[in-house]
A and B are shown apart, each in its own frame.
Chain A
Amino acid sequence: MSAAVDYDALFRKLYPSLFRYLHRMTGDTDAADDIAQESFVRLLGRNMPEDEARLWLFTVATNLFRDSARTSKRRERLLAVRPWSPTPLPRPDETLDRTTTIARVREGLDKLSERDRQMLLMREEGFRYDEIAKVAGVAPGSVGTLLARAARRFVAVYDVQEGEGEEALG
């Protein structure tokens, strides 16, 4: 019975990881929270073990993210504005260094294809290769290679910006 599921406990346990994943995917705290909320609401009434629920939530959230990205792309085409890429605003407690790091990390992630970003970030949340392969729609045997390449590309983009930043300062 669904009444037996302690949704509060499940939420407390799984939300932080789902939010982190979505925040890294989108670079937007509101979008991350919205998608996470919607995924949890869709989980209501389903009765599954926690590990299964976790993969289910990430799968639904990834699909919702794809849908929202498609919608926002359509909107951009109609409005002919520049691509949606929220720039994190510095909070008073954030130093300039941190703000710069955030922007570079964002750029590194945005330069990855959506699939590679998703795979890399799911791995960072501790998912196994077979689970990542299922959500990304790739062969499990190719996950290691794709992850290694994505990690290299991310760090390369980050380092190029760091170099540029230093040149600008020097």
Chain B
Amino acid sequence: MKKHLDEGTLQALLDGELAAPDRAAAEAHLAACAECAGELRALSALEERLGALLGQADHPAPVAQAQMRFRSRRAAAGQQRFGGEARRALLRAALLVLGLAGVAAASVPGSPVRAWIEDTVLPAEKAVQQPVARPEAQPAAPAPVAEAPAGVSIRPSRGTVRVVLTGAAEDVVVRTRLVEGEHAEVVATGAARGARFRTSPGRIEIAGARAGEVTVGLPRGATSASVSANGRVRVAKEGGALRGTPPAAGPASPEVAFRVGG
């Protein structure tokens, strides 16, 4: 028997943070080690309890009020910026007027300005560099970031696999289909990539998907498989097919899609 998995590895496995080879090694160990499997279950239960307790003490975010405050602070910040720009424009104009007056005075033969230039500036042959007006520095546009999808996959536990979305926003769309092979997989794209993944034997939890899309593949060979969102079972495997709850009208489709809030 290989040495037991440490707490950090179990936690990283739950949080979907183990790289594929480490995850495979950890899962292989868990399949053979009741002690570590027990530790993982305990840690998973602890996490669920932590999330539930924190949620009970939360205060609703005062979004509407806060947004009004933010708008007025934004307006004030904009005015300040405008005020600064206006002052700088005035200063530039004043310098331009002075410069023009100087040139005009120098062009008049016998003027003291012209005499001063002939006596001091020209003999030194100083190259007077005209300040070149630089275009306003433009912040470089950020390079488009390749949005790598986030996802996890697990093997069913005793033929069973459950995919559970918790705290998912109403706009999240979940597409489920049956897949060949042993693994159940969940892939999040768009804003759903920010969701947190937790895996425990036969269970994948996707916590806090804010928007975007979650694609679920349930292994065709699983005895029992389901997808639930915010406490309601929405898709279940029945025999060799998927059934949405409530069942969708229309012809059977290889894919069952639902909107969390729909």
Dominant secondary structure at the A interface: helix
Query: Hey, which bits of chain B sit against chain A, CB under 8 A?
Result: 6-12, 15, 17, 43, 46-47, 49-51, 53-54, 56-59, 61-63, 66-67, 69-71, 73-74, 77, 138-139, 141-142, 145, 191, 193-196, 207-208, 210-211
Contact mask A44-64 → B, CB, 8 Å, 1/0?
Answer: 100111111010000000000
The reply to whether A101 and B56 contact each other, CB–CB distance below 8 Å, is yes
For chain A, the bracket of interface size reads: 35 or more
| Chain B residues, Cβ within 8 Å of A48 | 142
Taking a contact as CB atoms closer than 8 A, the residue among A7, A23, A40, A155 that contacts B58 in the complex is A23
| Chain B residues, Cβ within 8 Å of A76 | none
The reply to whether B8 and A145 contact each other, CB–CB distance below 8 Å, is yes
The complex places the Cα of A54 from the Cα of B191 at a distance, in Å, of 11
| Chain B residues, Cβ within 8 Å of A49 | 142, 145
Contact mask A4-34 → B, CB, 8 Å, 1/0?
Answer: 0001100111011101100110000100010
Min CB distance A16 to B, Å, is 4
The reply to whether B8 and A105 contact each other, CB–CB distance below 8 Å, is no
The reply to whether A145 and B11 contact each other, CB–CB distance below 8 Å, is yes
The reply to whether B66 and A41 contact each other, CB–CB distance below 8 Å, is no
Taking a contact as CB atoms closer than 8 A, the residue among B17, B51, B67, B69 that contacts A124 in the complex is B51
Min CB distance A23 to B, Å, is 5
| Chain A residues, Cβ within 8 Å of B53 | 101, 104-105, 108, 154-155, 158
The reply to whether B57 and A101 contact each other, CB–CB distance below 8 Å, is yes
Besides A44-B74, A105-B54, A123-B196, 17 other A-B contacts (C-beta < 8 A): A1-B138, A2-B139, A11-B67, A19-B61, A24-B54, A29-B62, A33-B62, A37-B69, A41-B77, A49-B145, A50-B191, A51-B145, A51-B194, A129-B15, A144-B15, A148-B10, A151-B47
The complex places the Cα of A94 from the Cα of B74 at a distance, in Å, of 35
The complex places the Cα of A121 from the Cα of B50 at a distance, in Å, of 10
Sampled A-B contacts (7; CB under 8 Å): A23-B58, A48-B142, A98-B56, A101-B56, A102-B56, A151-B46, A151-B47
A66 within 8 A of B: no
The reply to whether A47 and B142 contact each other, CB–CB distance below 8 Å, is yes
Min CB distance A99 to B, Å, is 10
Q: Which 4 A-B pairs have the closest CB atoms?
A: A145-B8, A144-B8, A105-B57, A144-B11
The reply to whether B17 and A128 contact each other, CB–CB distance below 8 Å, is yes
The reply to whether A148 and B11 contact each other, CB–CB distance below 8 Å, is yes
| Chain B residues, Cβ within 8 Å of A124 | 50-51, 54, 196, 208
| Chain B residues, Cβ within 8 Å of A128 | 17
The complex places the Cα of A66 from the Cα of B7 at a distance, in Å, of 29
Min CB distance A146 to B, Å, is 8
| Chain A residues, Cβ within 8 Å of B7 | 144-145, 148-149
The complex places the Cα of A144 from the Cα of B210 at a distance, in Å, of 23
| Chain B residues, Cβ within 8 Å of A41 | 70, 73-74, 77
| Chain B residues, Cβ within 8 Å of A37 | 66, 69-70, 73
| Chain A residues, Cβ within 8 Å of B10 | 144, 148
Min CB distance A148 to B, Å, is 4
The reply to whether A8 and B71 contact each other, CB–CB distance below 8 Å, is yes
Taking a contact as CB atoms closer than 8 A, the residue among A141, A142, A154 that contacts B50 in the complex is A154
The reply to whether A126 and B207 contact each other, CB–CB distance below 8 Å, is yes
The reply to whether B61 and A15 contact each other, CB–CB distance below 8 Å, is yes
